[in-house]
Structures are given as C-alpha cells and as structure tokens.
C-alpha cells in the first residue's frame, strides 16, 4: 500500500493505493494521519478510489483515525468508495459514521472553515 499526499483548499487529501490490511497498510494510515495532526492539518480526505481491498483491521484503523481526528477538533471524510467498501461499511453500519463523497469538489467544499 502507498499513500500520496496532496493539498487542495486547505484540505489534505490522502490518495491511497493498494490494500488496507493488518500490518503495514493500517499502520501507514495511522502514522500518516497522526503526523498530519501534529503538523496542525486537521482537514483530511481519504481518497479510496484505488483501494483494492480492506480487511477488518483496515476498517478498524479507519474508525480509529476518524476518532483521533474528531477528538482533536478535526474532520476526516472519505472519497470515491469502491462498491465493495461501500457495502462493507453499510453492513457494519459505519457508512452512517463517515461522511463520504463521490465528487472531490463536493467533498472539499463540505469541510467547515
């Protein structure tokens, strides 16, 4: 798994590529999100368009990152969920926890100032 970081309109976008699984994948997300928070970047958008697979550990890390960001008065949102990931989040009732978007411009404009 790799993460490319970019910024648009004051929002940090993490373009995630590959599998979010136990071990490296979930740890990399955790470390990246915590580094961003330490740098004062509290508006985070996870672009999931190129994510091929997420296991339960990956889901857990997404929830943990969401909680960490929220507890620090930040916002973490999801972009371009794959059909499988959307179904998985629906089954686990987490789709109601995360704000998710299919359009990047719409996602960016949803972040409060």
Tens-place pLDDT, residues 32-70? 999 999 999 999 999 999 999 999 999 999 999 999 999
Q: Is the pLDDT of residue 112 over 90?
A: no
Lookup: tokens for 84: 């499988």
Contact partners, residue 39, CB within 8 Å, separation at least 6: none
| Residue-level pLDDT at 25 | 77
C-alpha distances out from residue 31 to 3, 72, 88, Å: 11, 15, 24
| Average pLDDT of every residue of the chain | 94
19 within 8 A of 25, measured Cβ to Cβ: yes
Quick one: fold of 2-105? Transcription Regulator spoIIAA (3.30.750)
Q: Is the pLDDT of residue 72 over 90?
A: yes
| Residue-level pLDDT at 23 | 79
**Range 69-86 average pLDDT:** 96
What ranges in 1-113 are assigned the alpha helix state H?
A: 24-38, 56-71, 83-91, 104-110
| Residue-level pLDDT at 93 | 94
pTM of this structure = 0.94
Helix axes 56-71, 24-38, angle to 10 degrees: 10
113 confidence band (pLDDT: 50, 70, 90): low
Q: Is the pLDDT of residue 24 over 90?
A: no
Beta bridge partners of 6: 13
């Amino acid at each position: 798994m790799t993460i490319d970081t970019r910024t648009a309109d004051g929002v940090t976008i993490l373009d995630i590529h590959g599998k979010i699984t136990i071990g490296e994948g979930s740890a990399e997300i955790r470390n990246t999100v915590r580094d961003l928070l330490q740098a004062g970047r509290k508006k985070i958008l996870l672009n999931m368009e190129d994510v091929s697979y997420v296991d339960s550990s990956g889901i857990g890390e997404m929830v943990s990152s969401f909680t960490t960001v929220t507890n620090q008065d930040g916002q973490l949102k999801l972009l371009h969920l794959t059909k499988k990931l959307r179904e998985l989040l629906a089954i686990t009732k987490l789709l109601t926890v995360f704000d998710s978007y299919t359009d990047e411009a719409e996602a960016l404009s949803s972040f409060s100032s």
